[in-house]
């Protein structure tokens, strides 16, 4: 009798054996097929699998949309692209709008505040001009050219402006020429990031599971690849060596 009791005590249902639960007093003589607890646990497992699949699909869609948008990007002939993915557009004479390139705009993930680093109107090449802030962290961007501010656009206006111009400036054509990049270089940077995004998409099943921890709803790239990797991508764009 004692031997039989010990044998019973040592028996485990599949949920105990798998380590999902620590203890279960079985009242069904280990008849799992007709066990209400077994049925409930299977339903929970199905829901978790379904939620993971939905999350994986949403992550794939977020990444694929970004890849598609980057694939449609064209080099605008009426703008000058600078070597750290800022961009200027001529209004007249030596007067230009200055802002972020369309490529940079696609990657500015949930950027909720953009501030001017200096109150000075005159900016020297290499000085910090803009600070980006988001839930992913922050980043300072330096100017690849010397210029004079004719006007600064406020944070709210920058965020509402689809082209993300942050100022009206005056600068020489020589300054802009020294800091400009070709269409080939611009598209090469886009291709490099697109490759990284494609690798992320291929491995999105593994990423999707980890993003379910804590019940975070995934909407942005930095949530998918992590803040550190996201900031590293931004550094590749904005932190370039500035010609002296």
The domain 77-181 is placed in CATH, from the list 2.70.70.10, 2.40.50.100, 2.40.50.140, 3.40.50.300, at: 2.40.50.100
Q: What is the 3-state secondary structure (H, E, C) of 42-87?
A: HHHHHHHHHHHHHHHHHHHHHHHHHHHHHHHCCCCCCEEEECCCEE
Q: Is the pLDDT of residue 48 over 60?
A: no
In the structure encoding, which two tokens stand for residue 204, read together?
A: 């999105």
pTM (2 d.p.): 0.70
Q: In this predicted model, which residue has the larger pLDDT, 82 or 109? A: 82
Q: By mean pLDDT, which of 22-36, 70-84, 108-122, 133-147 is the weakest?
A: 22-36
Model pLDDT for residues 74-95, shown as the tens digit of each residue = 898 899 999 999 999 999 999 9
Sorted by where each begins, the domain ranges of the chain are 77-181
What DSSP assignment string belongs to 107-167? H-TTEEEEEES---SEE-TT-EEEEEEETTEEEEEE-SS-EEEEEE--HHHHHH-TT-EEE
CA geometry: angle 75, 223, 47, nearest 5 deg: 125
CA atoms of 8 and 30, how far apart (whole Å): 10
User: pLDDT: is 79 or 225 the higher one?
Assistant: 79
Mean pLDDT over each residue of the chain, to the nearest integer: 79
């Amino acid at each position: 009798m004692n031997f039989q009791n010990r044998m019973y005590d040592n028996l485990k249902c599949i949920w105990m054996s798998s380590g999902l639960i620590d203890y279960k007093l079985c009242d069904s003589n280990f008849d799992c097929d007709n066990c209400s607890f077994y049925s409930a646990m299977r339903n929970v497992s199905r829901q978790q699998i379904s939620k993971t699949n939905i999350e994986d699909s949403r992550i794939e869609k977020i990444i694929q949309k970004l890849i598609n948008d980057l694939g449609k990007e064209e080099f605008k002939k009426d703008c000058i692209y600078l070597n750290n993915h800022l961009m200027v557009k001529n209004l007249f004479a030596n007067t230009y709008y200055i802002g972020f390139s369309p490529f940079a705009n696609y990657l500015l993930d949930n950027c909720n505040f953009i501030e001017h680093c200096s109150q000075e109107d005159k900016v020297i090449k290499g000085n910090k001009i803009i600070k980006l802030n988001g839930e992913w962290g922050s980043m300072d961007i330096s100017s690849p050219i010397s210029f004079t501010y004719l006007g600064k656009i406020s944070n709210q206006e920058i965020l509402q402006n689809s082209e993300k111009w942050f100022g009206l400036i005056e600068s020489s054509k020589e300054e802009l020429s020294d800091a400009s990049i070709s269409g080939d270089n611009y598209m090469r940077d886009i291709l490099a990031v697109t490759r990284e995004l494609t690798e992320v998409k291929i491995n999105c099943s593994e990423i999707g599971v980890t993003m379910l921890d804590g019940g975070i709803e995934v909407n942005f790239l930095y949530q998918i690849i992590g803040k550190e990797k996201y900031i590293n991508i931004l550094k590749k764009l904005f932190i370039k060596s500035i010609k002296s």
